[in-house]
């Protein structure tokens, strides 16, 4: 294997330092005893305690979690259906319009999506709250799910499905026992993507929510506009920790799955 | 055939296919296309002291509605300096940040593609991990670093490079840093994908034929990773153009970006017709890079076949 040249080592080191130092500082200073976030005054976990006693943050976190779970689940179902239609649908009336509507939200500025949905909700007289945020999040994240799932469906070997049908499976059974297990990793990553997009969204939620529902990013936003606060550092640390655990365990799981597949393939290839 | 299908699976195939198409289709029509039609309609309306704060509304009847629509708001946008400057400065900020992201991202993608095979999944994960972390938090992390008593200034003062703290937060420089930081993974991944596919023997051939390393890089590596570079640049440029969070949090009062103007026009001034007109123009500006990006992707897909 080629060894990395000094130039490559330097660019990787600097690049990753740039990506990670801000987050590391955030994590370290969440344990700072001082209210002044840039002066170190000893180790303390008091900000975590205050965060857990802050009802407004807890309420917002609960709203965000509910919105994310519901919207990403609906988005996964709709996005998978849309991917099926795009890859397998053949020709149908308005196909170009449909694929345009699936891809456009991916590049649409959030301010425009948020504004247009808000004007719709006001136009039809729908009270803004959790329901409207769920509708908005479902709409843009189903498009992301659809892109992830259709990239898997394109490489899918259709003869497997046909074989199942020939052997007497109903179309639903063929989908349930053949297609779904094969596209499952894409469906799961689509769901995870939709879930994080929803957890993360500030702009669209600000437009589509009403006074009855405040999400965590909205709460964070209103407090960081006033400057750096140690409580937000503590909250960020918790979120960064959860994401790190999630991503690492997901990548370990995929690694194990590919290893098992390789082993299976070796076993199958062994002459009997 | 229809009967056979019915026996096996319940609903006939045609019905099932129709449901499969109709449900996501109607959802997107109702919650994506119709809202845009509404934005377009309101951009042609006038502001009014009413609820909703514009006129005419659907209740005035279709004819009154159509006859009262005009392009006044668009004329207003061309007359008021603020909007022109905001569009131009958004384009400028997005362009500069895209170039900066490329300058940071390309060497990283290059080094990743050159790294030993067993490191690559880990390096990949290190690039993707920040992408899963909250966008808002990553931007917020820079507030504490760039402020006048922040970590960067403390560090520079300690080194003795500067005597007085630099003003970085609330300037365009901070916005560039924020955009490069948050969109770096979007630049690295497509370039890495292109460089990873690159056949190393081509570079060896160029070197055998008398190219210096730099020439081989410039004449072989860069052209062969062109599609990755183009894709990465669009993936940074397009969202950066309509960015709202980064200019609001890191930029100053002098930072004009159209996403921020739209947000303020809507929430602070409550001028819905003008906000809608701003959105329509932003969309028109975005169509050009989006179409170019699509073409690049299609050409690439065709080349792979």
CATH architecture of A55-223: Orthogonal Bundle (1.10)
pLDDT category at B96 given cuts 50, 70, 90 is: very high
B184 burial (CB, 10 Å; 0-12 / 13-18 / 19+) is buried
| Helix runs in A89-129, H state only | 95-107, 110-123
- Pick from A101-105, A259-263, B205-209: least confident: A259-263
Give pLDDT, residue A216: 94
Q: What residues of A are in contact with residue B39 (Cβ under 8 Å)?
A: 112, 115-116, 119
Which positions in chain B touch A207 (Cβ < 8 Å)?
A: 266
Distance between CA atoms of residues B60 and B175, nearest Å:
45
pLDDT score at B1: 40
Provide the ipTM: 0.87
Read off the pLDDT of each residue in A192-203 and give the average, rounded to a whole number: 93
Which tokens in the block code for residue B171?
Answer: 């300037």
pLDDT of residue B289: 87
* pLDDT score of B51: 66
B132 touches chain A (CB under 8 A): yes
Instruction: Give me the pLDDT at residue B108, please.
Output: 96
* Each residue's pLDDT tens digit, B150-170: 889 888 998 988 888 889 999
Q: What is the mean pLDDT of chain A?
A: 89
Q: Please check the confidence at residue B8 and state whether its pLDDT lies above 60.
A: no
Of B130, B75, B123, B100, nearest to B274 (Cα)? B75
B204-221: per-residue pLDDT in tens? 888 888 888 888 888 889
**Preferred mutation among B5, B59, B134, B242 to probe A, highest tally of A CBs within 10 A:** B134
Listed ranges A13-22, A120-129, A156-165; the one with the highest mean pLDDT:
A13-22
Distance, C-alpha A7 to centroid of its chain = 34
pLDDT digits (tens, 9 = 90+) for A18-52: 999 999 999 998 998 887 767 788 888 889 998 89
pLDDT of residue B50 exceeding 70, the answer is no
Q: Could you write out the DSSP letters of every residue in A146-172? A: HHHHHHHHHT--HHHHHHHHHTT--HH
Tokens read off for B132: 């899963």
Residues B255, B55 contacting (CB under 8 angstroms): no
pLDDT reported for residue B7 = 44
Q: Do A243 and B129 touch (CB under 8 A)?
A: yes
Task: Residue B32: list chain A partners with CB under 8 A.
Answer: 101, 104-105, 139
CATH 3.20.20.70 assigned to domain B80-304? The reply is no
The structural domains of chain B, with segments of one domain joined by +, span: 2-12+15-68, 80-304
pLDDT, mean over chain B:
86
Answer yes or no: is pLDDT of B126 > 50. yes
* A7, A105, A232 ranked by CB distance to B32: nearest: A105
Average pLDDT over residues B55-76: 73
Determine, for residues B115 and A5 on separate chains, whether the beta-carbon distance falls below 8 Å: no
| Token pair of A106 as six digits | 């991916």
**What per-residue confidence (pLDDT) applies to B233?**
95
Q: Give the closest of B28, B29, B141 to A25, CB-based.
A: B141
Query: Which residues share a beta bridge with B55?
Result: B46
- What pLDDT, on a 0 to 100 scale, did the predictor assign at position B52? 72
State residue B4's pLDDT score.
43
Question: How many Å apart are CA B179 and CA B231, to the nearest integer?
Answer: 17
- What's the pLDDT at B62? 66
Whole-number Cα distances in Å, A238 to A23, A243, B256, B305: 12, 9, 33, 45
CA distance B255 to B113: 37
What are the two backbone dihedrals, phi and then psi, of residue A128, each rounded to the nearest 5 degrees? -80, 135
Nearest to B97 by CA among B172, B169, B182, B180: B180
The alpha carbon of residue B140 is apart from the nearest alpha carbon of chain A, in Å, by 7
């Amino acid at each position: 294997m080629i060894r990395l040249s000094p130039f490559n080592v330097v660019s990787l080191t600097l690049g990753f330092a740039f990506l990670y130092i801000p987050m590391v500082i955030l994590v370290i200073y969440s344990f700072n005893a001082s209210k002044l976030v840039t002066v170190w005054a000893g180790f303390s976990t008091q900000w975590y305690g205050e965060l857990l006693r802050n009802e407004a943050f807890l309420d917002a976190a609960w709203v965000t979690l509910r919105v994310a779970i519901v919207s990403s689940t609906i988005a996964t179902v709709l996005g998978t259906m849309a991917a099926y239609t795009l890859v397998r649908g053949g020709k149908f009336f308005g196909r170009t319009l449909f694929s345009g509507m699936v891809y456009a939200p991916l590049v649409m500025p959030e301010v425009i999506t948020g504004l247009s949905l808000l004007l719709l909700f006001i136009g039809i007289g729908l009270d803004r709250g959790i329901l409207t945020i769920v509708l908005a999040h479902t709409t843009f994240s189903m498009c992301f799910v659809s892109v992830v799932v259709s990239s898997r469906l394109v490489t899918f070997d259709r003869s497997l499905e046909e074989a199942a049908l020939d052997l007497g499976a109903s179309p639903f059974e063929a989908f349930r026992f053949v297609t779904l297990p094969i596209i499952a990793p894409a469906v799961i990553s689509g769901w995870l993507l939709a879930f994080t997009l929803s957890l993360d969204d500030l702009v669209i939620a600000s437009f589509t929510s009403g006074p009855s529902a405040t999400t965590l990013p909205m709460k964070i936003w209103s407090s960081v506009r006033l400057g750096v606060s140690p409580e937000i550092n503590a909250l960020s640390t918790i979120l960064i920790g959860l994401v790190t655990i999630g991503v690492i365990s997901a990548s370990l799981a995929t690694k194990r799955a590919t290893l098992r597949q390789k082993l299976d393939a070796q076993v199958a290839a062994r002459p009997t | 055939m229809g009967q056979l299908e019915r026996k096996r699976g319940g609903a006939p195939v045609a019905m099932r296919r129709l449901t499969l198409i109709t449900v996501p289709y109607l959802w997107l029509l109702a919650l994506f296309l119709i809202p845009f039609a509404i934005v377009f309609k309101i951009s042609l309306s006038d502001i009014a002291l009413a609820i909703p704060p514009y006129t005419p509304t659907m209740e005035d009847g279709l004819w009154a509605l159509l006859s009262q629509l005009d392009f006044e708001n668009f004329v207003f946008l061309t007359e008021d300096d603020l909007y022109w400057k905001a569009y131009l400065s958004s384009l400028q900020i997005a362009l500069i940040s895209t170039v900066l992201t490329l300058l940071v991202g390309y060497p990283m993608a290059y080094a990743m593609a050159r790294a030993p095979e067993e490191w690559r999944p880990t390096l990949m994960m290190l690039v993707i991990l920040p992408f899963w972390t909250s966008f808002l938090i990553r931007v917020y992390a820079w507030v504490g670093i760039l402020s006048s008593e922040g970590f960067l200034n403390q560090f520079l003062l300690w080194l003795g490079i500067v005597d007085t703290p630099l003003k970085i937060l609330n300037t365009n420089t901070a916005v560039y840093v924020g955009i490069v930081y948050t969109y770096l993974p979007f630049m690295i991944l497509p370039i890495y994908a292109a460089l990873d596919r690159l056949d190393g023997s081509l570079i060896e051939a160029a070197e055998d034929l008398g190219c210096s390393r730099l020439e081989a890089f410039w004449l072989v590596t860069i052209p062969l990773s062109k599609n990755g570079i183009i894709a990465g640049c669009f993936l940074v440029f397009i969202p950066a153009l309509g960015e709202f969070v980064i200019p609001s949090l890191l930029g100053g009062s002098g930072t004009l970006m159209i996403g921020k103007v739209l947000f303020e026009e809507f929430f602070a001034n409550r001028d819905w017709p003008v906000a809608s007109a701003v959105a329509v123009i932003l969309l028109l500006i975005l169509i050009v890079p989006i179409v170019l990006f699509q073409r690049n992707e299609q050409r690439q897909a065709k080349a792979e076949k």
